[in-house]
Structure formats: C-alpha cells, structure tokens
Amino acid sequence: MTRLRTLLLALFASVLVLGTASAAGVDFDASAFDAYDSDEGYIDLVVEDGTMIITFDEGMGSLDATMEGGSLPLDDDVDEYRLRDSEALGLYGGLPVSTTAISVTVDVEGDGHAIHDAVLARLGDLGLSAEEIFAGGPVRTYDVTHGDDAWLVAIAPSGEHATISIWVD
C-alpha cells in the first residue's frame, strides 16, 4: 500500500510539474498572408493566451524583417485547405520556416542587427522580460518570461539577414 501511495504521489507531482512547464506555447501563423498573390511578407511577434506567435503577413508590423518564398506565389494547383498547417508555406511555398511542437525558427531578410534590436524592443512592448544568458558571440540567447510562461529566444544576426528561434522553456 505504501508503494502504491508513493507511486501515485510521484505521478501526481510529475503531472503538476509537466503541466506547469508546458503552459507556454509557440506557433507560426501565416493565416493573414495571401500565398496566391504575394511572394514576400513581413514577420511580427504577438503573445496570445501564453503562446508566443511569429506572424507572417503582407503588411509590415513591428519588425522590419521580411521572408520570401522561392515557390510563391502559389498557383491554383495547391488547395487552400493544405495551407492551414503551420509548416505549409515552408513546404509548398519554399518559405524559410521550421516548426516543431516546442519551437519555431525563421530566417528573415533585413539588417540583421536592427532585426535583433527590434525583436528585443517588441518583446518589451508585449510586456515580456528578456534576460540575455549568453552575451556576445554570433548567437544572442535570451530567457524570456511573462508570468508563468517562459521561452528561450535565440537571434543570430548576420549582415543582411537574421535567424530567429523560439523554444518553449
């Protein structure tokens, strides 16, 4: 009986820890982008319900950073329902984006160092706090928090482009 209680308490504790750790999320949203009309768009950052979202749209948001798809605009052979997945524009449109259940990575065009500064400013505008954990070097990495939500944000500025990666922490 004691072993069963110990097992149940351990299971309950792990559910609490995992539930807290997975409260934050990350996503890529290109639902406002017209993939049949444009080949280039701008990214922005938003936070909704504990999820940090990289958005992609034709209109410039808070970041002067663009992405271009090698196969965009799409022709009518690609059904619109296929574009609902966050990986779709990378797959069908050649957009430099990669997503997993816990991360999003985009490679964007523009002044790399200005993009770095704009991402940090945008995080501040959203009410998130960012603390650099690896100063200097080619990849700048930050612990980003908002209440109980936490992310790891890495920005690699290089000349006329930057790679931005966001992971659930």
Among 87-91, 133-137, 149-153, name the one with the lowest average pLDDT: 87-91
CB 48 within 8 Å of CB 96 = no
Tell me, yes or no, whether 53 lies in a domain.
yes
Domain tally, the chain: 1
Residue 84: count other Cβ atoms within 10 Å of its Cβ: 9
Residue 10 lies inside a defined structural domain of this protein: no
Angle at 122 between CA 117 and CA 124, to 5 degrees: 100
What's the whole-number average pLDDT of the chain? 82
The residues near 157 (Cβ < 8 Å, ≥ 6 apart) are 112, 113, 115, 116, 140
Which range (7-16, 45-54, 69-78, 97-106) has the least confidence? 7-16
Q: What is the mean pLDDT of residues 14-35?
A: 68
Task: Establish if 127 belongs to a structural domain.
Answer: yes
Residues 23, 27, 33: CA angle, nearest 5 degrees: 150
Q: Calculate the alpha carbon distances from 41 to 5, 67, 91, 147 in Å.
A: 56, 6, 16, 31
Give the type of residue at 13: A
- Would 92 be classed as within a structural domain? yes
In a domain, residue 8? The reply is no
Percent helix, strand, coil in the chain, to 5, is: 25, 40, 35
| Per-residue pLDDT band at 84 (split at 50, 70, 90) | low
Distance in angstroms (rounded) separating the CA atoms of residues 113 and 59? 21
Predicted local distance difference test score (pLDDT) of residue 87: 67
The pTM for the full model equals 0.81
Token output for 54? 């990289």
Alpha-carbon gap, residue 17 to 82, rounded angstroms: 36
Question: What is the rounded distance in angstroms from the CA atom of residue 93 to the CA atom of residue 70?
Answer: 6
pLDDT value at residue 33:
87
Amino acid 129: pLDDT: 97
CB atoms within 10 A of CB 61: 16
Residue 63 domain flag? yes
Containing domain of residue 149, as a range? 25-168
* Confidence (pLDDT) at 82: 64
Q: Which residue did the predictor score with more confidence, 112 or 75?
A: 112
Identify whether 163 is part of a domain.
yes
Task: Give the pLDDT mean for 160-164.
Answer: 96
- How many Å apart are CA 39 and CA 74, to the nearest integer? 8
In a domain, 35, yes or no: yes
